[in-house]
Copies of this chain bind each other. A is one copy, B any other.
Amino acid sequence: MPNTDLLFEILHIQSTSGDESDMTDYLLRYIQKRMQTWKVLPKVYSGDNFHDCILLKFGNPRTAVFAHIDTIGFMVRYENQLVEIGGPEIIEGAKLFGFDRFGEIYCTLKGDENGLFHDFPRKIERGTRLSFAQDIRIDKDFIQAAYLDNRLGVYNAVKLCEEIEDGWVIFSTYEEHGGGSMPFLIDFIQKTSPIKQALISDITWITEGVVHHEGVVISIRDKFVPRKKFLDKIINLAELSGIPFQLEVEAFGGSDGREIQHSPYAIDWCFIGAAEDHVHTPHEKVSLKDLESMVSMYKYLLERL
């Protein structure tokens, strides 16, 4: 069973791409409160020079772990129109929430890919950001909620902090909407305490080859193809670990790994995370066993990579 206090709290924080500051503030308070209990005390980098990102440096890093703190959502356009932030699934009737200078907003999603609308009775200010209303469902096998992608990746990164001795743990922004924080994060890392390996702590998809309860997913590729030498090293360690895992091969999809691939540094990267179904809906669903193997795998790999 996961640490539900932390997880439930971050699942309730709104942080669409470009507006992550509430999530950043929460994480900074959590880190300050807890880091004295961690095996190694990290150096914390945050504030205006890092926009809404946070970097934690533990010991002498060989590897960096990236977890994005932004989510998909919607932005109010003109009249009662909406435009997408990232790639939310369009489900007519989905409940949305947010706020503008006139107060809180609870409304319903109308329309389809050809035109999106809200049904809030009053005008909402242009540029207001709306998120899926949160509804967390948990039983002995599954957790289901909006924004498991990537609150579970953030949860995994925070759990890793408890035991990691050497490594960077990074909370990035903008992943769901075109990226943009990774380049300056990578640049800072390489100029401060450089690494040659990176893991992406994020959530992937249930497909015909990736199923619930079979363990964390190690992704051989999505739209981008990591270097085979590094994949082989990780898969060999994963086999030795005894921790359940599955291998993914996809033609589409991306992650913060894309920006590592295209950075001006020779850094190997690999996406490792639990799989969900109902991706980018209010009903994302992940096996608790897969989440557990994700947490275990990161602890195992960070020690050995």
Contacts and interface: CB of A to CB of B under 8 A. Distances in A.
Interface of A: 17-19, 21, 48-52, 75-79, 83-85, 126-127, 129, 174, 177-181, 183-184, 186-187, 196, 207-209, 220-221, 223-229, 231, 247, 249-251, 261-266, 268
8 contacts: A19-B228, A48-B196, A52-B227, A78-B208, A127-B220, A127-B231, A184-B265, A187-B264
B183 A264 contact: yes
Given A18-B226, A127-B231, A231-B127, A266 B50 contact: yes
Give the 4 A-B residue pairs with the shortest CB-CB distance, closest first: A78-B209, A127-B220, A18-B225, A187-B264
Given A48-B196, A265-B184, A177 B224 contact: yes
Given A227-B18, A229-B21, A251 B209 contact: no
A49 B226 contact: no
The complex is assembled from copies of this chain, and their number is: 3
Given A225-B177, A266-B49, A249 B85 contact: no
Contacts of A196: 48
A173 B302 CA distance: 27
A209 B266 contact: no
Contacts of A184: 263-266
B221 A75 contact: yes
A225 B85 contact: yes
Contacts of A77: 209, 249-251
A50 B227 CA distance: 12
A85 B196 CA distance: 24
Contacts of A268: 51
Contacts of A264: 183-184, 186-187, 263-264
B51 A266 contact: yes
A263 B183 contact: yes
A180 B254 CA distance: 14
Contacts of A225: 17-18, 75, 85, 174, 177-178
Contact of A249 (B127, B177, B228, B265): B127
Given A77-B209, A127-B231, A184-B264, 11 more contacts: A19-B228, A21-B229, A51-B227, A75-B225, A83-B249, A83-B251, A174-B261, A178-B224, A180-B262, A183-B262, A187-B265
